[in-house]
Amino acid sequence: MGQSNSSFGASSEADSREISPSRRFSFRSSSPAVISGLGPKQEDEVLERVSGGFDYSADIPDECLALVFQFLGAGDRKRCSLVCKRWLRVDGQNRCRLSLKAQSEILTFLPSLFARFDSVTKLALRCDRKLMSVNDDALVLISIRCPNLSRVKLRGCREITDVGMEVFAQNCKALKKFSCGSCMFGAKGMNAVLNHCRALEELSVKRLRGIHEGSEMIGPGVAASSLRSVCLKELINGQVFQPLIVGSKKLTTLKLIRCMGDWDGVLEMIGTGNTGFVEIHLERLQVSDLGLSGISRCSNLEVLRIVKTPECTNYGLVCVAEHCKRLRKLHIDAWRTNRIGDEGLIAVAKQCLNLQELVLIGVNHTSLGLTAVASSCQKLERLALCGSGSVGDAEIACIAAKCVALKKLCIKGCPISDVGIEALAWGCPNLSKIKVKKCRGVSGGIAEWLRERRESLIVNWDDGVAGLLDASVSQIGPQESRMEFHRTVHPGTDVTAGPSSNGPLTLFRTKFGFLAYRNLVQCAFRRCPNDDNSSNGNL
């Protein structure tokens, strides 16, 4: 863009590259670099086009110009649309994605907006919770102007009701992906989408306020033959989706995250209704071994994530391992409840021989379970051991000796030392990346030594001193988070005070002191020279 098609020969092309960019559209007749080597007629043609401010982009077809726009960011694309009317038209006709601030004031601009962007298939409407969002009229107008929408995302659109969702679903029957969060419509609006959108493949629902205890059940509708993924987050009465989960025969992915209520009944029905699940994610749910036994009937299961479900024990994990032998990825965050340990890991090692990725967080297993996994799972490529007090140098040496296919290893918050890291210098021949974090027994010198021994190995080492200040409850258990907080309290606060001193004023002073101390430490780290840690600057 910015240059015409070449017809002057190789010499003129080489000379034209030497012209300053600032003079690209203001050449003069006295520019010998442009007209040298041309005949009289060609020279007159060039001088006429250049002196007249010829638009070289006019020779670019609209299709090519639209392809260029696709590689630009949102800001650059907006600026390009202001260059000329043609670029404005091409940008509007070929823009498939559109994200709008869905405030109520946008209603009057929707007709002209979608008259320009008439090819939108992916739309996102977001509104801040402090502002009034668009209502049913705006949503209906959008559905009329854009009947070919395939992806829609609604965030904070609290003025949209079941009536608006009904009309929207009737007009946008080609919808494939629908996501909503912090909206106020309820089960009727959700059923309308599932009853009219026959091609719906992915459904994501988060904090849907209109679903409560008295809500009607949500069924699969006509989307039962196409729905493949369902994600439910932070729902009060998410169990109303049970007919949808059980009745969608092609459903392969299920994610239940921070939803209230007992989910054992729903998961037990999965085993009797739909056994084709490939990926299941359970996080912060009230789920016990009964739910895991229902999941175990899904013999095609390949990915299982059990995160912070304290009622799950070794028994449930053994049931899953014995029946789901195709398991490739297993993530367990036991939250240091000591209910999942060697028994479950040994069952996984014996039955799931295709395991490629294993993440253990807060699982206090011994060398027996880890040795069984290292010996039997010969395809294991990614391993993460976090927050386990029973993982020491002997366990790391076992991994180095027996995990031949291992490519990535993460060790966080485990009582290992330099001796365990030294074993990795000769073991795990396919290891390409290792990350060691918050392991106080490991020094920076051993990390440099390991880099020298294995030049192709990427070593990320962090002693965790600064990380303790940013520790969150999701990374460590609630008790440890509370202990770390008291360790970082400002000296001016009373650490030995009893429960009666935890009033609002004391809590405010404690938080203020913590933030002040944190800023002070960060400033001190910035002022310290980085000569000793220059080699670890990219960690």
Closest Cα partner for 376 from 423, 336, 325? 325
What are the backbone dihedrals phi and psi of residue 257, each rounded to the nearest 5 degrees, phi first? Answer: -130, 120
Q: What is the mean pLDDT of the chain?
A: 81
Same-domain check for residues 369 and 271: yes
Same-domain check for residues 112 and 227: yes
Query: How are beta strands 408-412 and 97-101 bridged, if at all?
Result: unpaired
Same-domain check for residues 171 and 269: no
- The count of structural domains within the chain is 4
Q: Is residue 17 part of a domain?
A: no
95, 117, 144 — which closes off a domain? 95
What's the CATH number where 279 sits? Answer: 3.80.10.10
Assess whether pLDDT exceeds 70 at residue 526: no
pLDDT of residue 40: 64
Percent of residues, the chain, with pLDDT higher than 70: 76
Percent of residues, the chain, with pLDDT higher than 90: 59
Q: Is residue 21 part of a domain?
A: no
Q: Is residue 507 part of a domain?
A: no
Q: How confident is the model at residue 94 (pLDDT cuts 50, 70, 90)?
A: confident
Q: Is residue 246 part of a domain?
A: no
Same-domain check for residues 117 and 88: no
Same-domain check for residues 281 and 335: yes
Same-domain check for residues 425 and 362: no
Closest Cα partner for 494 from 505, 479, 481, 484? 505
Render pLDDT for 258-289 as a digit per residue (tens, 0 to 9). Answer: 999 999 999 999 877 777 899 999 999 999 99
Angle at 287 between CA 284 and CA 363, to 5 degrees: 65
Same-domain check for residues 123 and 226: yes
Same-domain check for residues 182 and 275: no
Domain range for 79 is 59-95
DSSP label of 394: H
Same-domain check for residues 420 and 298: no
Q: Is residue 522 part of a domain?
A: no
Q: Is residue 138 part of a domain?
A: yes
Render pLDDT for 58-92 as a digit per residue (tens, 0 to 9). Answer: 888 888 988 888 888 888 888 888 888 888 888 88
Same-domain check for residues 108 and 225: yes
**Mean per-residue pLDDT for 371-386?**
95
Same-domain check for residues 332 and 347: yes
Assess whether pLDDT exceeds 50 at residue 473: no
Angle at 189 between CA 183 and CA 195, to 5 degrees: 140
Cβ neighbour number for residue 54 with a 10 Å cutoff: 15
Same-domain check for residues 130 and 175: yes
**Mean per-residue pLDDT for 22-44?**
50
442, 463, 484 — which closes off a domain? 463
